[in-house]
Structure 1
Amino acid sequence: MKRNLILGFLVLLIAIASCSFTNKSFENDDKDKLLLDLITYILERGHYEPKEIDDDFSVSVFEDFIDVIDPTKRYFLEEDILEFEKYKFQIDDQIRNTDISFFNIVYARFMKRMENAKSLYAEVLSDPFDYSIEESINIDYKDQSFAASRNELKERWRKQLKYATIGTFDSKFKVQEQKKKDDPNTESMSLEQMESEARESTKKTLDEYFDFVDDLKREDWFVYYINTIVDEFDPHTYYFAPEDKDKFDISMSGKFEGIGARLQKKPEGAKIVEIISGGPVWRNQQLEVGDEILKVGQDGELPVNIVGMRLDDAIKLIKGPKGTVVDLTVRKVDGSIEEISIIRDVVELEESYAKSATVIKENEKYGIINLPKFYVDFNDYAERNAATDVAKEVERLKKEGAEGLVIDLRDNGGGSLKTVVEMAGLFIKDGPVVQVRSSGKEKDVYEDKDERIQWDGPLVILVNELSASASEILAAAMQDYKRAVVIGSKQTFGKGTVQNVIPLENIVRSNEHGDLGAIKLTTQKFYRINGGSTQLEGVKSDVVVPDRYSYIDLGERDQRNPLTWDKISPADYEPWEGYIDYEATIENSAKRMAQNPQIALIEENAKWLKEQQDENIVSLNYDIYKSEEKKDKEKSTYFKTISDYDSHLTFESLKYEEELFTKDPVLREKRDRWHNNLAKDVYVEEAINVLQDLKLNNIKNGKLASVKG
């Protein structure tokens, strides 16, 4: 199967390379034009679902590029946008003619407005802020218009800088209060002094930010323009400049230093969309998906405000050598602002591997396997991969007497397709697992052809909104076969596409420009064996239970320009016949969840978090600011009781692992932490309840229950 995927990729590459480019396509050797021509050529001929580059496409590129470089609308004026408007319906023609006039005029004007902004913020910060005035700021910049004049723009900067400074002012106020508690004789700083220092702190941050931006080259901004065009095709197709391509290769190998989180650009900062198992953020336990990073500081130094900063530039500030400290000012999912210090480190690959534990309930033993991702060593598949490791854990759990099995795919962002097919084969006799279709071609059906079943007992799969790609394939297959009960969010992430990376140097003959980077291109789409795509809709759980992300926009549907959901013909498969009253088991679980007070509390929290995220009006009056902060803190403290839950289940490491603890106390600490978290997990508790029901309804077929080695 892997060979077929590689062959398909090579055919695509050869087809594109057969019409390879030379620099003589242009009157002059303009690298920007060459890149534009190359990338659009590949997109139109290689993308799974190429878009028409027409007037509608032109309008989207126009609006999105302006939004990318000025998301908070504090640089361009209304007159600039009106001047750019003449290009609104011409960008498609410019792309076809390798004309970059639109980029050139926007870039030149942006550089000018950036210079203007330096004098603007200096003017604003030279005057004190009056925090007694009742005024507010709307931090939802999307629907705001551009400023009509310099005075209007200055007023916009004033509110934004007052908003940026009020938090610093508050921090200084809190520090002084604490000092007074510790020592009543401490000399007090006046409110005027604190306000002045807060403004100076904000000015220093902006000075550093603009110094940082000044170091960027024109080609850095052009890459943003290229990726605005690329992003119109789908959110997973992306152009890597040479330096970015090197970073991508490093990150794919898992050998990189940083904080271990994937970020998404937002107008108010960088949103955490994935936490990498084993990374510093994962170990720190203070950050979570949905938090937004607002400022970045280096080990106690003055933090840099990253609001409005390009994501790549923000990431450069966040990343750094192992052992160094980065201070992140974060707006938590619940709306509170916190400063969290993270020690940068290399991501521990060991924590991204499968691990298991036994679960004891009422003298009955079950097993749980946590799989953070579908990993594989592409250089040596036999060396280590997720399917082989899960098979080992299943065998160990069987030997310890487990009577039911939970596969935990929550937060699993996917990985190797080959491992999914093999893993599914551990739980079914044989048959199709997933269907894959390339653009304009017949579908390919990937099957488990091994008739042996390693685990024929009760099976539950746990998912959430962050279970994506390969996780969705396994959950969908087990659901379609009625082999497992899927418990979790209303739907999974919804990423049902496949990407390949094409180095551009493989396509250009006589290249005098050096490394041109690469393009990650969507070339295929996944389909369930029932014919439905996992794209956009993901997998809908059999038993839907709320979690704190239930009402927050996450997943493929929250991305820009996702591919649509569609359906193809189903594969030929027979549902599992190992359960009696499979539907009744699901119905009973749903009833239990509906009556569970812990679930009710979690849903209440989820609705409150949604309200917090939708609240875009922030008061710039200090008393109101403090009052709202106090209310939010009280509510946040109230919801912290969720973590006090006790399922009264007992979790234990397997015997082979307990033997390792004497030599590796760190491993013991990691497993103890995992077990403690599992014991507070109402979803795991319900998974065990379902296993109990399935156990009563399970038909053991001796002919099928053979060990798959």
Structure 2
Amino acid sequence: MSFLRLKIGLYAFLVTAVFVLASYRLFRRNSADGPSKEQVLIGTMVQGLSTAHYQPEKLDDAFSKRVFDLSLKRDDYRKTFLLASDVENLRRYQNDIDDEVKNGKRDFFDLSTQLMAQRVKEMQALYREILAKPFDFTTQETFQTDPEKASFPADKATQRELWRKMLKYETLSRVSEMMDAQEKAKTAKPSAATAAPAAANAAAPTAPEPVRTPAQIEAEARKRVLKFYDDQFADLSDVDANERLANYANVIANTYDPHTDYFAPKAKDDFDYQLTGRFEGIGAQLREKDGLIYIEDILPGSASARQGELKKGDAILRVAQGAAEPVSIEGWRITKAVTLIKGKKGSEVRLTVRKPDGATKVVSIIRDLVVNDETYARSAAITDKNQKIGYLQLSTFYADFNNDGGRSSAEDVKKELAKMNQEGVKGVIMDLRYNGGGSLNDAVDMAGLFIDSGPVVQVRDGRGRTQVLEDKDPRVQYSGPLVILVNKYSASASEILAAAMQDYKRAVIVGSTTYGKGTVQRIVDLDESLPNELNSLKPFGSLKFTTSKFYRVNGGSTQFKGVVPDVVLPDMYSYLEEGEKGSDYPLKWDEIAPARFRAWNTPPAYDKLRAESKARVATNQSFNIMNEVTQMSLARKKESVESLNLATYRTKQRQSRIEADKYEAAQKATTALAFSPLSADVQAASGDSVKVNRGQRFTKNIKKDITIGEAVSIIENQL
């Protein structure tokens, strides 16, 4: 791989040179008057992207419209601040933003900033006025919760009614949650935590919800909504000129593709370690979308992973420290939300999350140190019908990027396969679900553990030059039946490995269609691109942008479409419009010439395995209930009009809980898989209780995983 690294280093140098040249041209053009910071930032960024991005955008009216649409969406995603007349006022610049960028002007940016500031001030007075009076939850009226289906209010009377219904809906949801907590407190038995003093480092028990009358509950709910909006509007008031400029620069960057981002200096630091607590916390990676903060990933071995209730795709609505009052974080930026979510080991945080189907749930997590060992490749044996099947879990494609003695995922997987071979397993299940990718080199090397040799992935740059990355080692580490589990959160390097094994007919890919992230990004420090004459305007931050695209050995891209499994299984999250397709301005799927490769000598009998799996799934109660719940969740998701009648609302929420409980009950009734540690790991532990307990935690939450159970059957059908 030294040749690859050499090419990447040279390319990085050339990319930096492109941005240096762009900034010099801009500086020379504006040297008479001296360019502003905005002119340098936007001009350098756009000129550099016009050359270095994989698919450069022409600075024309189409580019202008993309920036206009995305800027409008980011400024007022819920369509609650701007009036229709404001939007029409801004629309005058819909085709002019490209010219403004070229000429260093900012008329659209200034007008949008001015209009938003004016409407924010007006809405601050409005929400306080509305929340000063009680709501009547016995009337029959509805609220449209999906901004995409809503329109900007035609006038101030329409806007007032929109805010009244929105505030009523948010108060209603809190009323319902408080009623649930009160009902739960009535039936709850005293726990050990409340019956005895807390241990030295244990979190304080959550205080029970006080008993309130319906009127008191409504008043308290309005008070909480008021506090949320007071906090949110305080944040809006704190946004300074630099932050507004950074937001606008990021809008322009995002119109190239979803993975091209501008990072202000502090935001770059947050990107480098976007976990909630670098060493202590809950171990969840976050992302911000349309005013909400979502769980992007759960770090294996973290407090969140062990607790098990927080899931990728959940939206965090409120955060509470132990027994303290929950704080709403809707509309917050990630940097601020993280300060509430992270915390010391042993402390409790309670997250009120909205599940993808709309149901809300309070998840209590005891913060802890993140155990790095649990992010590495791990394996175990599953005994079924007197035969052993190997199970290998890989959460990320980690690598020693700095050559300082760190671990490689490919080398670790190789060791796990050697242990499984020693165990005499009859087949291997490799679990890449929720694996967001990582090291490209490790994905290539890992593929080589299962095939003789040959191309694994093709990488093409914006100029159409294609590099084929190959496994050149003819040795095969494991040659038996192989199943690779994927889902819609398997991305990038996961998709490369799964696609290669599918094209070589080496494995059976099982699960749901993957994310569809088939692009390569690089980061350029913009400060390094500026001539010394502009040092007074620094710092400028960094730009992450797409430089290349991945293609399978069969010629098709993994971008946008992802990898479609050979055996598709029901998936609780299959109805979500997530993945690359659900993002703004994704690069599209295409194909190039296939690479020359030779398929595996003994391919699986795909048609037979699909038919057998389909028959099993059809008679499996857990899969049937999962499918039923998924279809109901999809129907609810489409029904974005919510009732503002308390009885109707609570009936719907109760039905959501019944469905969720039904699925959980079916899972509990599932026969547990017979996991056991590999003999080599038992010997290595040598009675070390820490290692033994870690191994038990590894399989604790997957013993009744019906997808793994089906993968076992698919392996057995090949024996």
Amino acid at match of 1:567: E
Displacement of 1:299 in angstroms is 4.1
Q: In 1, distance between residues paired with 2:8 and 2:368?
A: 34
Distance 1:693 1:637, change over 3 A: closer
Give the secondary structure class of the aligned counterpart of 1:95: helix
Q: In 2, distance between residues paired with 1:244 and 1:127?
A: 40
Q: Which structure 2 residues correspond to residues 235-274 of structure 1 after superposition, within 5 A?
A: 235-251=258-274, 255=278, 258-267=281-290, 269-274=292-297
Displacement of 1:173 in angstroms is 3.7
Q: In 1, distance between residues paired with 2:5 and 2:617?
A: 41
Q: Say if 2:377 is the partner of 1:354.
A: yes
Q: Say if 2:233 is the partner of 1:210.
A: yes
Displacement of 1:579 in angstroms is 4.3
2:501 maps to 478
Displacement of 1:59 in angstroms is 1.8
Q: Deviations over 1:143-188 (max 9, x none)?
A: 32222333322222211111111233234444555666799xx997
Displacement of 1:564 in angstroms is 0.6
Amino acid at match of 1:514: K
Distance 1:191 1:680, change over 3 A: closer
Give the secondary structure class of the aligned counterpart of 1:63: helix
Among 677, 688, 698, the alignment partner of 1:674 is 698
Give the secondary structure class of the aligned counterpart of 1:367: strand
Q: Which structure 2 residues correspond to residues 501-516 of structure 1 after superposition, within 5 A?
A: 501-510=523-532, 511-516=535-540
Q: Say if 2:446 is the partner of 1:423.
A: yes
Q: In 1, distance between residues paired with 2:696 and 2:707?
A: 19
Q: Deviations over 1:47-92 (max 9, x none)?
A: 1011222212212211221211211122222232222121111111
8 Å CA contact 1:54–1:92 kept in 2: the answer is yes
Distance 1:606 1:525, change over 3 A: same
Q: In 2, distance between residues paired with 1:97 and 1:420?
A: 45
What is the aligned-residue identity percentage? 38
Among 57, 64, 76, the alignment partner of 2:63 is 57
Q: In 2, distance between residues paired with 1:556 and 1:314?
A: 25
Q: Give me the CA root mean square deviation.
A: 2.6
Q: Say if 2:72 is the partner of 1:66.
A: yes
Q: In 2, distance between residues paired with 1:188 and 1:344?
A: 29
Structure 2: stretches of 5+ with no match in the other structure: 190-208
Q: Say if 2:568 is the partner of 1:544.
A: yes
2:467 maps to 444
TM-score by length of 1: 0.92
Distance 1:506 1:210, change over 3 A: same
Amino acid at match of 1:634: I
1:520 maps to 544
Displacement of 1:507 in angstroms is 1.0
Amino acid at match of 2:548: Q
Distance 1:188 1:605, change over 3 A: closer
8 Å CA contact 2:19–2:44 kept in 1: the answer is no
Give the secondary structure class of the aligned counterpart of 1:245: helix
> Which range moves more in the overlay, 58-67 or 500-509?
58-67
1:160 maps to 166
Q: In 1, distance between residues paired with 2:158 and 2:427?
A: 65
Q: In 2, distance between residues paired with 1:207 and 1:162?
A: 16
Q: In 1, distance between residues paired with 2:218 and 2:335?
A: 32
Q: Which structure 2 residues correspond to residues 341-420 of structure 1 after superposition, within 5 A?
A: 341-380=364-403, 383-420=406-443
Displacement of 1:237 in angstroms is 0.7
Structure 1: stretches of 5+ with no match in the other structure: 696-709
Displacement of 1:661 in angstroms is 5.3
> Which range moves more in the overlay, 246-255 or 625-634?
246-255
Displacement of 1:308 in angstroms is 3.7
Displacement of 1:105 in angstroms is 1.3
Q: Say if 2:143 is the partner of 1:137.
A: yes
Q: Say if 2:359 is the partner of 1:336.
A: yes
Amino acid at match of 1:287: L
Displacement of 1:311 in angstroms is 4.9
Displacement of 1:301 in angstroms is 3.8
Amino acid at match of 1:123: E
Give the secondary structure class of the aligned counterpart of 1:565: coil
Q: Say if 2:619 is the partner of 1:619.
A: no
Amino acid at match of 2:96: Q
Distance 1:266 1:442, change over 3 A: closer
Q: In 2, distance between residues paired with 1:337 and 1:46?
A: 44
Give the secondary structure class of the aligned counterpart of 1:694: coil
Distance 1:390 1:135, change over 3 A: same
Q: In 1, distance between residues paired with 2:180 and 2:604?
A: 62
Displacement of 1:575 in angstroms is 0.6
Q: In 1, distance between residues paired with 2:19 and 2:494?
A: 32
Amino acid at match of 1:213: L
> Which range moves more in the overlay, 633-642 or 670-679?
670-679
Amino acid at match of 1:626: R
Give the secondary structure class of the aligned counterpart of 2:273: helix
Displacement of 1:636 in angstroms is 2.0
1:698 maps to none
Distance 1:630 1:500, change over 3 A: same
Displacement of 1:337 in angstroms is 1.5
1:114 maps to 120
Q: Say if 2:636 is the partner of 1:633.
A: no
Q: Say if 2:609 is the partner of 1:606.
A: no
Distance 1:367 1:64, change over 3 A: same
Q: Say if 2:234 is the partner of 1:220.
A: no
Q: In 1, distance between residues paired with 2:459 and 2:405?
A: 24
Q: Which structure 2 residues correspond to residues 171-210 of structure 1 after superposition, within 5 A?
A: 171-177=177-183, 189-210=212-233
Displacement of 1:226 in angstroms is 1.1
2:36 maps to 30
Q: Say if 2:150 is the partner of 1:150.
A: no
Q: In 1, distance between residues paired with 2:328 and 2:340?
A: 11
1:435 maps to 458
Q: In 2, distance between residues paired with 1:87 and 1:374?
A: 45
Q: In 1, distance between residues paired with 2:277 and 2:9?
A: 22
Amino acid at match of 2:579: G
Q: Which structure 2 residues correspond to residues 291-302 of structure 1 after superposition, within 5 A?
A: 291-302=314-325
Displacement of 1:216 in angstroms is 2.3
2:717 maps to 693
Among 94, 98, 123, the alignment partner of 1:92 is 98
Q: In 2, distance between residues paired with 1:177 and 1:429?
A: 62
Distance 1:503 1:383, change over 3 A: same
Amino acid at match of 1:11: L
Q: In 1, distance between residues paired with 2:556 and 2:19?
A: 30
1:707 maps to none
Distance 1:135 1:267, change over 3 A: farther
Displacement of 1:634 in angstroms is 1.8
Q: In 1, distance between residues paired with 2:488 and 2:699?
A: 23
Amino acid at match of 1:135: E
Q: Deviations over 1:619-663 (max 9, x none)?
A: 111122222222222222212223224345311112343356576
2:192 maps to none
8 Å CA contact 1:582–1:694 kept in 2: the answer is no
Displacement of 1:343 in angstroms is 4.0
1:703 maps to none
